[in-house]
Amino acid sequence: MEPIIKQREHEQMQTQPLNSLPVNINWPERIFSITTGARIAAGGLSRLTKNPLTGLIITAAGGYLLYRGLTGNCPLYARLAAIQKGKPDNINIKTTMVVKRPRHEVYGSWRRLENLPFFMSHLDSVTSVDNKHSHWEAKLPGKVAKVSWDAEIVSDEPGRLIAWKSVEGSAIDNAGRIEFVDAPGSGSTVVKVVFSYIPPVSGTIAEGAAKLLSPALEKIIKDDIHSFKQYIESSSLSV
């Protein structure tokens, strides 16, 4: 009996997968993760000397994609299944600044959406479809991938308020609100910005990278918002 038991144990060891983690992605996505992860990791390593923080984040993102491709296990998908109907954490950005321009000019510059890529470095383009709807294209940190989505303006009070949100099914679920208030004294405007987005937890590789690069995206968006002050104060605008 003992030799038979040992033989069965040996057979079980041979048939047991080396990776004990559950496989929750298919082979086409695993192959795509491996090839894309290798490219992203190489891009991150090349940026380590010029921008160590961004380089490390990008390299980690590439390493993560390599991990999920080699093991077939995606922790983000597992987390999504675990929280079931729950929602992933929002990233909320709130900032206030004083711009040395009249309120109607500041509002007009934001309202003309095509102006946004001039001071928001992560945006490639914003195209107005009609008075309420627009198409946005953005690049992830390090230009490792691009994402696009459609948005709609949900509130527009000329000279006072602009609020928008992405349409259902967008690659990055986001929303924002900007208020314009006369600053004490003449000729300046207090701009209050609230920007919120939910990093995707499933879907395409670009969406997965967006989730992984959330810290870098948050910093870039904050920097871009504050770049608006320099942009509008130093530009001759026609709004």
b/e code 161-200 from CB counts within 10 Å (16+ = b): ebebbbeeebbbbbbbbbbbeeeeeeebbbbebebebbbb
Question: Does 51 score more than 80 pLDDT?
Answer: yes
What number of CA atoms fall less than 13 Å from residue 18's CA on the CB side? 3
194 vs 5, which has greater pLDDT? 194
Question: Helix, strand or coil for residue 13?
Answer: helix
| Token pair recorded at residue 223 | 């920097």
Q: List the beta strands (DSSP E) in 65-160.
A: 91-99, 123-128, 133-139, 146-157
Question: Does 25 score more than 80 pLDDT?
Answer: no
CATH of 87-234, one of 3.30.530.20, 3.40.50.150, 2.40.30.10, 1.10.132.50: 3.30.530.20
The single residue listed with the structure tokens 């600044």 is: 97
52 vs 213, which has greater pLDDT? 52
Task: State pTM to two decimals.
Answer: 0.56
H or E, element range at 100: none
Query: What's the pLDDT score for residue 231?
Result: 85
Query: What's the pLDDT score for residue 154?
Result: 93
Q: Provide the residue ranges of all domains of the chain, joining segments of one domain with +.
A: 2-82, 87-234
Query: What's the pLDDT score for residue 222?
Result: 77
Q: What value does the mean pLDDT take over residues 15-41? A: 74
Per-residue model confidence as pLDDT tens digits over 143-176: 556 778 899 999 999 999 999 998 887 767 788 8
Confidence of residue 81 (pLDDT cuts 50, 70, 90): low
Question: Does 65 score more than 90 pLDDT?
Answer: no
Per-residue model confidence as pLDDT tens digits over 113-152: 888 888 887 788 899 999 899 998 887 655 556 778 899 9
Strands 91-99 and 123-128: unpaired
